[in-house]
Structure formats: C-alpha cells, structure tokens
Structure 1
Amino acid sequence: MATEYRDDGDGEGNGTAAAAAAATPTAAVARSPRASSSTVGHSLDLPSLLPLSHQHPLLTAAEYDVDAFLLSRIHIPLDELRAELREYLGVLREELVQLINDDYEEFISLGTGLRGEGERLKGLQQPLSGLRGQVEIVRDVLKDHQSAVQAQLDERSALREEKALLELLQRLFETLARAEALETVGDDTERPKVVQRLAGEYTQLVYLRNKARAEGCKVAETASPRIDALRTRLSHDLASILTGALGAHDEPRIKQCLRTYDLIEGWREAEDVVRSLVHEFCTRTITSSALVVPPSPTAPETPAAGKALDRPHRLTGASLLDGLYNRVLAQVETYTPLIAIAHSVSPEFDFFAKVLWPEIGTAIVDNLGNVIFSAGRPDELYKHYTTTHRFLTIFEGHAPTADAVIAMRESRTYITFERRWQLPVYFQLRWKEIVSALASASTVSSPRASGATGWALPQSEAAWNAFKQCWAPEIYLPELSHRFWRLSLQILSRYGGWLSATLATYKVGDDEAAAQAQEDAVLRFAAAAVADIDQLTARIGDLALLAELGLSVPFPTSLSTQPYTERIVAVLQRRCAEPLKFVKTVASQFRATAARPGAAVTASHFIPTILKPLNLFFEPRPTLREKYQAEWSVLVVDHVLSNYASILASVRKTEDLLRRHRGARRPGFSLFGNAGVPGTPDAEEGRFKTQMLADVNALADDARKLGVSVDDMGSWLELKEVVVASD
C-alpha cells in the first residue's frame, strides 16, 4: 500500500500546509486593506493589486523579474508583503504534496507488477539466437542464387552486345560492298544520280565505322582504307560534275551536286573546286600586261537556250582598268546562280566571301599592285582607287546576303587590299599641293578690283580655290573625309587670320592728308573683305559634295564680317558728320545778309554733302549696296542726326547768351525766339528757324533715298525738337 508523503517545512510547522489550503486568494485580498479599498465603489479611482496566483503575469513570464514584481507592490508594507508571499508559498507546497500523493501509488504499483519479468526475458533469449542463425543461413543461400543469376545475365548481355557488334560489322561491309559496286555503275548522263546514291552510302559507312570505333572494334579499321578510297573517288566525281555543271550553266545539276556535298559535309571541298576555277581565270586575266596591251576582241555573248541575253551592270569608263574589271564582273556573273543556289542549300557554303573575293583580291594585289597602288602619283591613284571601288560596289551586289558582304570586308584579304592604297600618303601629297598654292597667294598684300573671277582680294580667291580643291570630285575621297574636313577648317582659319592681321595694319594718323588716304585704304580693304566673305560663304554652301554629306547645319566657316563692318561704318560716320561743322556758320551768315522778300528757302550748301560719302561708297559696289545699304545707312544717319541735334543745341545756348548780353543796349538776336516784325531780331530768328527746318528736311529726304525710315528714329525726333523749340 502506498505511503502518503508529508512536507515538514521550515519556520511554519506541520500545520502550514493545512492553513495555506484554507487561505484562498479571495481571503488574501480581503485581508489586504489596500486591495479591499479598491472595491468599495467606482467613485474612487484607487490603485488595485492582482492577487498572487498561477495566472499572475509577473509570475508566469518567461523570465522572472524581481524588480518589476517589487515595483508592482511598492505601496504595500514589507510585513504585509512577507505575509502575502508566505501564504502563496503555502499554496504551492500544498499543491506539490497533492501531486506527489496522486502519482506515488501508481509508481509503487509499477514496481510490484514487474517482479519475475527478468526470468521470462532470459527464457526468450535462446530461441531468438537460434532464429537468427536460421535467417543468416537463408540469406547466404539467397546471395549465392542472386550471384548465379547475375552472372547469367551478364553473360547474356555480353552475347547480345557481341551480336549487335557482329550485325554492325555485317552492315558495314555490306554497305561498303554496295558502295564499291556503285563506283562502276551508270554512264555520264546517269552519273550524277549514282554519285548522289554513293554519297548516301558513304554517309552510312562513316556512321557505322564511327560507331564500331566507339565499341573498340579493331575489325572496323580494316575497312578504313576502302572507305577513304571511296571518299576520294566520290570527291573526284563531284568535282567533275560541279565543274561540268558550271561550264554548262546547268542550275539543276549544280543544285543536285551542292546537295550531295552538303550530305557528305564536303562544303570546303566544293569551295576548293570553285576556287581552282576562279584562280585559273584570275591567273589568265588579271595580269600587269592587261593594263598595257589592249585586250584582243572577244566573241559576243550568246544567250543560253530559252533565255534572253541579260547584260549585267558594268563600269562605264573607257580605261584599260575599267575593261579589265568588266571582264572580271562578267566572269563573276557566271557564278551568280552558284552563289544563290548554295545559299538556299546550306549556310555553310560561302563562295562569295571565301572563294571569289580572296582569289580576285589576291590577284589584284599581286599582279596589279605596282601599277594601281601608285601613292606617289596622286592623280593616277585617285583614278585607280575610284575605279576599283566602283568595281567593288558592283561586285558586292552579287553577294547573297548582307552578312556575306560583312564577312568579305572583315577578311584578311580585304584588309590587306585596303592598306595597299596608302591613303594617308595620298592626303599628304594633296595637302602639300593645296597649302602651297594658298601660302604663295597670301604673300600678295594689295587688294585688286573685282575682275572676271568675281573676287575682290586675291587671297580670297586662293582660299576659295584651296577649299574647293578639298571637296573637288577629282580629289576628295570619302575615306579621307575627316582629314579634308580638318584641312578645310584650317584653310578658313588661316584666311580669317590674314584678314584680321591686314585690317590691324590700317591705322589713321594725325596728318589730315595721310589720314584721308589711310581711310580710303581701310574702306577699300574692309569692303573687299565683306564682299569676299559673303561670296565665300555662299559658294561653300553650294558645293555639291558637302550637300551630299547631308549636314544638318551649314559648314562652320568661322568667318565674321562684323569687324570689317564696324570699321566701314566708323569711317563713313566720321566722313558724313564732318560737314556738320558748317551748321555753326549759318547764324553769322544771317546776321551779315539782309532778308530778300519772296525768295524761296532752299537747303544750305553743305546739306547735300553730308550723306554723299555713303553714296560714293555704295555706287561702285552693287553687291554691298543690295545687302548692306539699308543696315549701314541707318547706323550712319542715326549718328549724323544725333551730332546734328547736339550741334544745334550748342548753337542755341550760344545765341541765348549773346542775346542776354546785348539786351540792355539794343534788341538782341535770338535764334529760337518767335518770328517778329521784319527787320527786327525776331524776324531774323524766324528766318534762321525756317532755314534749319529746310536743312533737316532735305537731310531726311536724302536719308530716305538711302532706304532709311527716319520718322521712327529717336535721333530724328530729337533733332526736330531742337529745331522747333522756342523760349
């Protein structure tokens, strides 16, 4: 029978468990004055404490925090807290005793029920050992039977493989016998079909031999010489058939032959056959003597049966090189069906980039290199280069695809072919020719009048000729466009620098006669520079080769007419403003002369001479007059009117001072007073004002004749205000 477990704990005696069992959480809460006070009513908001139990959050946490527990009961005295903890300790001990008492009886019963089981287990050990021995005997017997069965299976598998190998060898030799029998079958008309069958048998032979070799069969090697001999005979027959088909232009036979080559993977062999034909033609045709001795007359081409004569595109030149290239193009035309058929049969064929071009390009470099690649003779090199590349353009038109053209241009033969032209050397020779002519023309410093050439300065003509040579059809090469572009910019920069340096040499001195001559020289040079710059810019824009480049913006000439325009306008402004000094003499002339009643008022003698320098400047220069007369006249007239107004204002102040000085002794003369009685100073002042109005109106009419709208100019309004102003 199970014995009940008792806990004799410390400090509280044996009755602690019973007392703790009687003390419920409700009672503990009831004994706590703070806890009970929180339940009196809902009107007081006092702190409430959770009783200590198994559901308390601080006691059931994963990690027990002593500080948090003590802070939650900070308002309870230590004595009450100790009593509360001891009560909860008693509850825990009581529950522990109850758990032990519940499980102890079952534990004791388990120990009693297992008595005598050891003897029974020992009794079972001997039968189990015998059973294990019997199982091991059966397992060994089964392994022996399994090994015997596996040996039989392996032997059968080996026999099966040997049988398959024997069948493979039998098929190999049977196929070889059939193929050898086909070598002597058929006449010339049936031979292509027989060769196609032979190619199929050869393909089967290669497959069977490779399979036998993979099996390690030495017998298959005995058939290799016979198979190789069969391949040699097959290649010879295919070469004969392809050569004959090409000569007869028999496209069905060509296609059948190429399919046979593709069947036996003989792409390179087919290319070698065509290469030998092309090489023979190039050796016979592309020779150095072909450019010296005129070719003998050839029989005219006749159309094939059922086909009209189709003239392909040819070079139109009459030189020996053009004729040679035309013969090459005619021969290439005969291979056009071959190229098209080969492209449709298999992409592995590449007669264009791997056969035709290498043979033709190599023959040109080797046999004609000393003649056409003459870098020291630029004119001949240009003719040979342009003719050859026109030939290449037509030749590339026979390519089946764009990829074939790319493959041709990326080939070593093409790269070597292009390097032989030595285009940098050609450009250096052309550069020397162009720059030498420009440098010799720059030494001439005196401008000349426009002649038959239409240029005012010889340097402008030289710059145009140099620029035009860079883009001349008989000099320019597209492959050197970047070099000619840079040279063109250098020519224009050098020309512009010469114009600026020459303009800076014209300086006006203090000597009036020398200054006049220097200004005339400045006008002549600046006008010539402006006209030539405009003409040069227009001609550059009209160049056909530059238009073919498709530039989105005009060629950057970097030439500006502004510095020369400013010098021209400055000289014309000074010359047109010079007659204004006579304005101050008008008042003294009116004092010295008496009025003539009824006389018409005309402009002063100096008025027509004010804008005369403008007319004299534009009269011999119709080009500048058409483009710049209105613009430059506005600047000159505005300057003249401003100076005119300034001078009249100064005269007015002088006359006002003179009138005040004479006012005490006699009636003074006032320039801007109202008109008075005839013979009085007021009347003389009115006469002067009338004269000034006539002068400025005449000046405005002269300006309008030059295309200037003076009515909208601020200087004109200022001048009229000064004239009509009165005290």
Structure 2
Amino acid sequence: MAAVATATDLFGEPIEAHPTWFTPAAFLSSDFSPSTYISSLRSFVPLETLASELRSHLTSLNSDLIDLVNRDYADFVGLGTRLAGAGDAATRIRAPLAELRGKVAALRGAAVTQLVELRAGMERRAAAAAARELLERMLDTFHVVSKVEKLIKELPTAPSDLSGAEIGSVATDGTLQNLESGTSSRITQSILLERIASEMNRLKFYIGDEKNLPFIENMEKRIQAATSLLDNSLEQCFVQGLEHRDNNAIYNCLRAYAAVDNTSAAEALFRKTVVSPLIQEVVPNSSNNQPEAVATASNDELEGDYQKIMQCIENDCKFILELSSSANSGLHVFDFLANSILKEVLFVIQKGKSGAFSAGKPAEFLKNYKSSLAFLAFLEGYCPSKSAVARFRSETVYAEFMRQWNVDVYFSLRFQEIAGGLDSSLTGPIKPVESEGKTQKLLLKQSIKLLDSLKTCWSDDVLVFSHSDKFLRLSLQLLSRYTTWLSTGLAARRAHSGDADWAISALVEDFVYVFHDVSVLISELSEDFIVHVSQLLSSCSDEVTQLVRESIAQAGKSLQQLLPIMLDIMIDSIVEKSEKDLKQLKGISAKYRMTNQLPVRHSPYVSGSLRPLKVFLEGDRSAYLTKDATQRLLLGSVEKITNRYYELASDLVHVTKKTESSLQRLRQGAQRRVGASSDASDNNISDTEKICMQLFLDIQEYGRNLASIGINAADISSYRSLWQCVAPEEKQSVIAF
C-alpha cells in the first residue's frame, strides 16, 4: 500500500498537523479511557478546543476510510464471494442439532412423567402414614380408655379404712419410697388416682383433634363415665386426705388434679373442706339467721377477725400452701391463697360484715382498710418469689377484694370534713382562743384550725398512702384558702371597703395576733410539717419528695409575702392616731400671729404625737411580736410620723411666709400712700420667725421623745429636713437638743 502524500508548509511541516498536545496514537491503546484522557487535557486545553480538534480528527478518519475503500475496491467487493460454502456447512450442522433437540425433549418428557409418578407415590405414602397414625391413635385411645376403666375398677378394691398411719413418703419426683414396707391405703389410692389422671391426660391428647370421628363419638360415653368416676374418686380421696392431714395423699391428689388440668376443683374443695368452716367460725354468716351471728354482724370491725383468720391459716392451711409452693413439685399451678382463702374471706365479709366496706363511717372504714392491707401482706408472705406475688395480685378475686374498698368516696368525705371545718372557722371574727392551761403556739381559731387540718391530712388516722397525692393537694388547697382569706382581708382593710368584715372591724392590736400566727405557721411549714410529710413519703423517689417539699415551701412563701402588708397596716393605724395630735400644730399660727408673745416652751401636742406608738409597744399584745418585727414596726411608724410632721410643719411655715409677705406688701403700699417711714417696724420679730421658734422648740422635744424609745432623730431623713426648715441659721449645721 503506497503512502499518502501530505502537503507541507514553507518550513516543511504538514499543513494539517495536529497540536503537540493531541496524540491520535493514544486512541489505539488497549487501556484507553476517554474520561482519563479528557481530564488530563482540560487543565490546560479548553473543552471547546478539544471538541473542535476531535471533530477535525473524525473528519480526517472518515476521509481516510473512503480512500482505503476506493483504493482496494476489488478486494472489498470480493469479500462476499469468499463465503460461498457457509450455507452447506450450516445444512450439515442443522441435522445433528435437530436430532439432539428431539432426544432432549424425549428425556425431559420421561423425567416429567417420573416426577409425577414420584409425587403421586409420595402422596399415597403420606396418606397411608396419616391413616396409619390415625389408626394407631385410635388404637391408643381404645387402649387408654380400657386401661382407665380397668384402673377405675381397681379403685373399689383398695382398702376402705383410711385411718391407718402413713408409712411411705413422697419423693420430689412423685414416686413412692418404702412402698413395700407398708403404705396406707389412702396413699395407695391417691397413687392410683394420679396414674389414672395421667392416663386421662394422654387420652385428652389423643382425642384433642379427632373429636368428630365416628370412632371417638362411639367412645364418648365411656370417656365421660371414666371422667366422672375419676372426678368423684379424686374428690373423695382429696377430701379424706385433707381431713386426716395426709400430706402424701394430698400431694398425689394435687398432681392428679394438675394432670387433668382441673386446678379450680382442688381449690374449691380445699375452700369448702378446710377454709370455709374456719372462717365461718370467725365471721358467722348473717344469712344463717342465728341470733349470735346477727349480734356479731352488727360489729363491722375487722382487725380482730383478721388476727383470728391469720392464726387459723397459720395452724390449718400452712401445710398445703407450703406443699403447693415447694420447689420442683409441679404444683405451682395452684393458687390456694387467692382462690380458696381470699375468696372465702371476701365472701364471709360480704355476707356477715358488709358494713365494713362502707365509707360512710370514715374512721371505721380506714381502720378496716388498713387491716385488710395488712392481711393481704400476710398472705403475700406465703408467696415464695416476686413472680408469685405478682401472680397473686393479678388474680380476679384479688382485684374484686380491692374494689370493695372505695377509697375515693372515703377521700371525698374527708375532704368535706377537713375543708368544710376550715371554711366554717374563717367566717367569724378574729379572737384569741384560750389555751386552757396548755402551751398554745397559735392564738386565733382560724390559724389553729388550719394547722390542725394540715396535721389531720397526714395523720395515721386519716391518710391513705395510695391517695397521698390527693391529700397533698388538699393540704395545698387549705393553705391557699387561708392565704386568700388573709390577703382579701388585708386588701379590704387598706381600702376600707370589701367583703372581709373581720379585717375592717378589727382593732390594730388584733393584727398582732394575725402577724404572730402567720409567723408561727411559716415556721411550722418549713420545719416540723415538711419533715413529717417527707418521712411519710420516704418510700417515693427523691425527685417526688423534692417536688413535695418545694410545693409546701412555695405555700409558705405566699404567707411570708403577707407579713410586710400586716406591718404596714399596723403602722398606718398608729400613724393615723398620731396624726390627730400632730394636726394641733396648726394652732401655732393663730397663737403668734399679730402678737408680741414669744415662745418659751414646746407645745403640748408633741407629747401626744408618739403616744399611740408607745401605748402599742407597751401593750400586752406586743409581746407576740418578734424583736425583728417590733423593730421594723417602730422604725416604720417613726419614719411615717416624722414625715407627716415635716409635711404639716413645712406647710405651716410656707403659708405663714406667704401670708406675711402679702401683708408686708399691703403695709408698704399704705405707708407709701401716706408718706410714712417703715423703719420703725424693721426691728420687730415677724410671725414666721415666732412660729419657727415654736416649731424649733417642738422638734427638739420630739427628738428627745424619739431618743426615749431608742431612736436617733438625726438618722431620720424627714427629721433632718424638718430641722433645716425651722432651725435658726446658726444651729442648722448640728442637730442637738
């Protein structure tokens, strides 16, 4: 093949030569990757340039291909003629392939036929096995029924004297030991019954899914007769074992009951034979129409009855409870605690002492309820494990027993009793209650009733632990009711109107009692009461206990916020009384106006300005205030009285100066009209000066009175202002009296 000539430029390079970065030989490589090739070029060659170069190369390749076809056209046309023998070769191969296809189809048909026959054989075999199994089960059923009938016929042949002493003992696997040495006939019969029960259990398994078979239907009467005989014999043997306290016979009978899945019958027999006579002696049934039973039924107290019942259980029922709960006995399916003992106790109480469940008498109801809980705890003591306790509590009779105690109704009655008592006490006036020779922390009946109500909520005679959340809410409601009563009264007192008559009509001294009681209540809540409640709730989580403490503390804070308001009311009442004397200083203006009289001693009103405060502090009731409260009341009263003193004195001086200035202008105008000189009056003392002189003497005496009650007048800002208002210029810098 001749080389294709390529045009060159002036320098000898091909005219259509590719750039140096474009190498067409790379496309012929066996490991050529378009993405790798493009990614290696795009970092320095724009994609548009690369695409243009590729299109140019494609055009060049297409042109070369056309040139090659045109150049070797003869060879290209003769390519088909060289395949002339391919048809014959295909014909030769087609025959063996068809033959092979036929053989495969025949083999496949044979395999399918064999598979169908094999499946049909398997089905026939399965049907035969099922029929054989059914036949074997029918034969087993027949043999078991016959065996049971034979064993039942042997029962009457057992000796009837069941009073002999038991020599044999039961092993943990239910077999007998020392049977040859002489086992009582009762034990022998119980063993035989257990064996029959085991066979009956097998029989129940055999006929479980085949009840509709004619064979089973034909044997139904025989099976029922055998079942009835077994039940009667087992009942008789179990009752005799209970009467003679034969543990071995009882053990075998219980295993027989468990084998036939008839535990309820054993529980009912134990209840009827052992439990019922014992409980009936303790709580006679009023339906017997016996006079002594009716007389006993009139007393609905249960605590003594429970004590007797527990003693009976300990003496006469403990053996079967221990037997049924022993390890590896297989008797855990029985629940004599619930279905025999508790069921009978509930029955006799409902019949003989139905009033015990009535919440109409809260005290008796609570006593019986707590006694019942203690009785249930006693029964749970016979449970060998926590799972047994849970199973006991899940029994229907347990839930029925608990439903008899309507604690919600009990709480409603207690709520009405406690909350109603507090409401009644809050309707009357506030008066101290005589202590009757005892030390009484609280003084008012309202406060005493509140504290008694709070203690009642958490006393052993009232509290039901399962409803402790409701009693906590009641406690907080009592505190809120008392706090609302106080806050409403204090607001009415300050506004001099409202519905709280007790606060409006109360004397200021009466608020000392209120202040004292609130302080004591706050102390009780934060100390003894909250500690008592926390101890009662000690079984709860720390988070719950903390929330309870915070809620009680919050109620105490609400009361704490009322103490400053009560102090302000007492202070305002004292200041109001003092203000009546202070207003007498207005007479100073009339006394010295237009006169030549000069003040020589303090005014009489000064002594009376602090008299209400002194009387209050020296009274018997002030002893109920703490030192801190007394000091706060003293300082608050003095500050307000002094402030009011300053207001009245400054107003008097201001009005006097204003009046004197007006008179001075009128006088000067008259003198100018007549041409007279005003020099003659310049040496006279003005009314303002005389009034200030009198006020200065008064505030000095007032300061001495303050010192007599332990107050430094210079420490009071309003007193300093008063001093600056009336003191002479030479004495204003130093307060001294």
On whether the aligned pair clears a TM of 0.5, the verdict is yes
Match status 1:207 vs 2:202:
yes
Kept in 2, the 8 Å contact 1:700–1:710? The answer is yes
The one of 167, 172, 187 equivalent to 1:192 is 187
**Structure 1 residues 108-507: aligned runs within 5 Å:** 108-112=81-85, 168=140, 172=144, 176=148, 179-180=151-152, 183=155, 184=157, 188=162, 189=166, 190=183, 191-192=186-187, 195-196=190-191, 198-200=193-195, 202-204=197-199, 206-207=201-202, 210-211=205-206, 231-247=227-243, 254-255=250-251, 257-277=253-273, 278-283=275-280, 285-287=282-284, 289=286, 321-333=302-314, 334-344=316-326, 345=329, 346-369=331-354, 371-374=355-358, 378-379=360-361, 382-399=363-380, 400=383, 413=397, 444-445=428-429, 447-448=430-431, 450-452=433-435
Shift of the 632–109 alpha-carbon distance from structure 1 to 2, 3 Å rule, reads: same
Number of matched pairs:
631
**Using a 3 Å threshold, how does the CA distance of structure 1 residues 714 and 254 change in structure 2: closer, same or farther?**
farther
Name the counterpart of 1:566: 568
Give the counterpart letter for 1:634 in structure 2: L
Match of 2:616 in 1: 617
Which residue does 1:514 correspond to in 2? none
TM-superposed CA distance for 1:617, in Å, is 1.8
Larger C-alpha radius of gyration, 1 or 2?
A: 1
1:700 aligns with 2:707: yes
Matches within 5 A, 1:613-692: 613-618=612-617, 619-621=619-621, 622-626=623-627, 628-643=629-644, 665-666=682-683
Shift of 1:629: 0.7
Cα deviation for residue 326 of structure 1 reads 2.9
**CA offsets per residue over residues 208-256 of structure 1, 9 Å max, x none?**
6744776898667776656655555554454455445545556566555
Q: Please tell me the residue identity of whatever aligns with 1:529.
A: V
The whole-number CA distance in structure 1 between the counterparts of 2:228 and 2:11 is 116
> Quick one: distance in 1 between partners of 2:109 and 2:482?
116
- Kept in 2, the 8 Å contact 1:530–1:564? The answer is yes
Provide TM-score, normalisation by structure 1: 0.62
Q: Distance in 2 between matches of 1:520 and 1:439?
A: 20
- Alignment of structure 1 residues 494-643 onto 2, 5 Å: 521-534=506-519, 550=537, 551-552=548-549, 553-554=551-552, 556=555, 559=559, 560-576=562-578, 609-618=608-617, 619-621=619-621, 622-626=623-627, 628-643=629-644
Q: Which moved more, 1:88-97 or 1:579-588?
A: 579-588
What secondary structure is seen at the aligned counterpart in 2 of 1:22?
coil
Report the Cα offset of residue 92 of structure 1.
0.8
CA contact (8 A) 1:182 1:194 kept: no
Aligned counterparts of 1:25 and 1:194: Cα–Cα separation in 2: 127
Q: CA deviation at 1:637?
A: 2.7
Alpha-carbon separation, structure 2, partners of 1:158 and 1:444: 94
Residues 639 and 718 in structure 2, CA contact (< 8 A), matched pair in contact too? yes
Deviation of 1:573 (Å): 3.0
Distance 1:209 1:275, change over 3 A: closer
Q: Which residue of 2 aligns with 1:92?
A: 65
Cα distance, 1:408–1:326 mapped onto 2, change above 3 Å: same
RMSD: 6.5
In structure 1, the residue matched to 2:173 is none
Helix, strand or coil at the partner of 1:326 = helix
Code of the aligned partner of 1:526: F
Aligned residue for 1:703, secondary structure, equals coil
Hey, what's the Cα distance between the residues in 1 that align with 2:34 and 2:732?
109
> Structure 1, residues 340-399: CA drift from partner, whole Å, max 9, x if none?
442344442222233322232133223332x43555xx44x5314422441332233212
User: How far apart in 1 are the matches of 2:444 and 2:507?
Assistant: 13
- Measure the CA separation in 2 of the matches of 1:644 and 1:94: 130
Deviation readout 1:494-537 (Å, 9 max, x if unpaired): 6556556666666899xxxxxxxx99954144334334444556
Residues 365, 577 of structure 1: CA spacing in aligned structure 2 closer, same or farther, 3 A cutoff?
same
**Runs (5+) with no aligned partner, structure 1:** 1-17, 40-47, 63-68, 297-317, 510-517, 596-601, 673-680
Deviation (angstroms), 1:181: 7.2
Distance (whole Å) between structure 1 residues aligned to residue 515 and residue 208 of structure 2 = 90
- Of the structure 1 ranges 187-196 and 629-638, higher mean CA displacement relative to structure 2 is found in 187-196
Change (3 A) 1:71 1:632: closer
- How far did 1:569 drift? 1.4
* 1:530-564: CA deviation from partner (whole Å, max 9, x where unpaired): 34444556667756985665441427376534443
SS state of the match for residue 508, structure 2?
helix
Q: Distance in 2 between matches of 1:260 and 1:266?
A: 9
Q: What secondary structure, in the 3-state scheme, does the structure 2 residue paired with 1:275 have?
A: helix
Identity of matched residues, %: 19
> In the alignment, is the contact (CA less than 8 A) between 1:603 and 1:698 conserved in 2?
no
Structure 2 unaligned runs (5+)? 36-45, 167-182, 497-502, 538-547, 665-678
Residues 607 and 327 of structure 1: CA distance in aligned 2, closer, same or farther (over 3 Å): same
CA shift, 1:702, in A, is 1.4
Cα deviation 1:451-480 (Å, max 9, x = unaligned) = 337676565566667767666765665677
Query: SS state of the match for residue 353, structure 2?
Result: helix
Deviations 1:411-450 (A, max 9, x none): 65555555556666666666666677667666645x4455
Does the 8 A contact of 2:516 with 2:625 survive in 1?
yes
Aligned match of 1:311: none
Kept after mapping to 1: 8 A contact 2:338/2:398: no
Partner of 1:313: none
